[in-house]
Structure 1
């Protein structure tokens, strides 16, 4: 039996993806259980998720021992472990992938975060990961840095499906869509089947509120305090307006007419950071057709338990959303500075997780020898 609340979100046009993966989730059958009971139709991963999974030591001992016996270093072992998890998860989602024509049943794996400012390095590793996972329903995650934009275009041009991650600003989101369309145009010129290429654009939500709320609190006026916890949803709603406009353009229509797919907005960072807020805020308030919401398990459980889905909560909300961001700006909070800071911090967190993971795996390899 599926859950009525998650089913309602699905009916509103939202694909529910789980923002987590581990060997134990795969082998215990828990991932399949989430598919069967709460409408999960995809998975996203990131360096922090794999640090938590592999760092726990659960389920990876034999594989690490095998890598040690083969003389692999920490970097190569991480690739072996993470791509194996993603490939096995892709197999679990194969039926959903087929049933949805490739829209869902997707499992994402991210390029090494240290490559986020390295266009050529990102392109090379995206191709390596795609070949290593060797599943049509994989997606390669590429951060939406300035240097990542050309990497997105080139990876799409090679016929590889991409999850663009760490998007915070509306301007960068417009650039990401342009990079995707450019990639499709190059893919078409290279003779790739556009229908096989899918992409999502991961727009981060809760981190925007966390940073803007801190700045509003510092301002301290009644007007500033009244605006707290509104900017994240407003920013995401305006991103959906950008999506609607971009994929109704003549340029996009030409590609869609040739079998290409629109790049769906994916709401990421949807776990509430402020315990005073409703724990399903970034789910129910961002329900809209043709979107993805990737949730940590706690948020997914909250949705299944008491989330109140009211259908499309985004379309037609753009005037109000603009007013929120304008009011925030009027309080002296610099939107561009906030989104730039969040990108830098987001990358730094993933680099730190990757370094921790490398240290953990290096220690495990040493112990296995």
Structure 2
């Protein structure tokens, strides 16, 4: 089938398009395959909110819930089976993409229990468990970039497991994520692991940054309002400058000589929340080679319809972005506080969604046993 020319142009520019959504219905209906065939979708990301929306109130999962309930599974066991089954099926759907891209794409991500975001050892334990249960090379385990998540990232990479680092909001934290990845690769090399099989992406959240900073700029008032809608892109572009420096440097060069892959920047939270902004804002202005842009379907459809990409990001782009962030700080926005708030809220939102999912499935399990 012919690919959409706009999404093809992004792909040609080095941007891998991953869908930020997954459900059993999307797989069984053929919709996911259609997106692969027509709009250059080469991967999928999931999170607790996505699974909560996919499973709650859907009949697709009733038979499995009833079967598992009959076998005596508790609610956490039921949810684990439902989510890992969907990820495994999607991973199989992307097997050709995975092979043709030599492991860079064809990836399906599944996140560790968000309630473990501040527990290093339990995060490592569950990451290894999820990797084993899904049982597919092209699965990526999502670990949040909390302070406690950083050593977990190193440990899981050292085991040879590919990781999607999520909930990154600041350039400073992104630098720590890069360090965690490189340290993990070095440990993997010492243990004799094949570095060429280890992949990682660093998920840098975009729209949530604008939402929080725009609110603060409104509160400041005056000339500060002229900076609204600029922080999210500038923050991400500045992060890409860190990517270029780290993965063009000597430390990674030594690892690359042993087969290591760079940890690509991934632009997450790319659905535009302010209707006054272009609905392709966080795609058109974040064209980077290489990078991943994970899009909700609404954003993907907008891109396919009317995307107008800007020039590719460079080290010079990053310097200009840092100046924009400096202007926002000078206007009175406490950026460190913004990023701390966003991380706390990000973890909390995923915890809430996960607990809601557990409650919904528990109701179905109880009904099946009644």
* TM superposition score normalised by structure 2: 0.98
- Structure 1: how far apart are the matches of 2:321 and 2:262? 23
**SS, match of residue 254 in structure 2:** helix
**SS, match of residue 312 in structure 1:** coil
Counterpart in the other structure of 1:287: 287
How many Å apart are 1:309 and its aligned residue?
2.3
Unaligned runs of 5+ in 1: none
* Structure 1 stretch displaced more, 246-255 or 346-355: 246-255
How many Å apart are 1:331 and its aligned residue?
1.2
Counterpart in the other structure of 2:90: 89
- Structure 2: how far apart are the matches of 1:298 and 1:175? 32
Counterpart in the other structure of 2:320: 320
Counterpart in the other structure of 2:44: 43
How many Å apart are 1:59 and its aligned residue?
1.1
Runs of 4+ in structure 1 deviating by more than 4 angstroms, as ranges, are: none
How many Å apart are 1:311 and its aligned residue?
4.4
Counterpart in the other structure of 1:304: 304
Counterpart in the other structure of 2:70: 69
- Structure 2: how far apart are the matches of 1:5 and 1:133? 33
How many Å apart are 1:319 and its aligned residue?
2.8
* TM superposition score normalised by structure 1: 0.99
Counterpart in the other structure of 2:114: 113
The answer to whether the Cα contact below 8 Å between 1:288 and 1:315 also exists between their aligned partners in 2 is no
Counterpart in the other structure of 2:150: 149
**SS, match of residue 201 in structure 1:** strand
Counterpart in the other structure of 1:335: 335
**SS, match of residue 142 in structure 1:** strand
CA gap of 1:77–1:200, structure 2 versus 1, over 3 A, is same
- Structure 2: how far apart are the matches of 1:296 and 1:345? 20
**SS, match of residue 54 in structure 2:** helix
The answer to whether the Cα contact below 8 Å between 2:157 and 2:184 also exists between their aligned partners in 1 is yes
CA gap of 1:127–1:300, structure 2 versus 1, over 3 A, is same
Counterpart in the other structure of 1:365: 365
**Alpha-carbon deviations, 1:89-129, whole Å to 9, x = none?**
00000000000000000000000000000000000000000
Question: What is the total number of aligned residue pairs between the two structures?
Answer: 368
The answer to whether the Cα contact below 8 Å between 1:287 and 1:311 also exists between their aligned partners in 2 is yes
How many Å apart are 1:167 and its aligned residue?
0.2
Are 2:101 and 1:100 equivalent residues in the alignment?
yes
**Aligned CA-pair RMSD:** 0.8
How many Å apart are 1:76 and its aligned residue?
0.6
Counterpart in the other structure of 1:5: 6
Unaligned runs of 5+ in 2: none
- Structure 1: how far apart are the matches of 2:274 and 2:134? 37
Counterpart in the other structure of 1:216: 217
* Structure 1 stretch displaced more, 61-70 or 134-143: 61-70
Counterpart in the other structure of 1:260: 260
- Structure 2: how far apart are the matches of 1:314 and 1:254? 23
Counterpart in the other structure of 1:122: 123
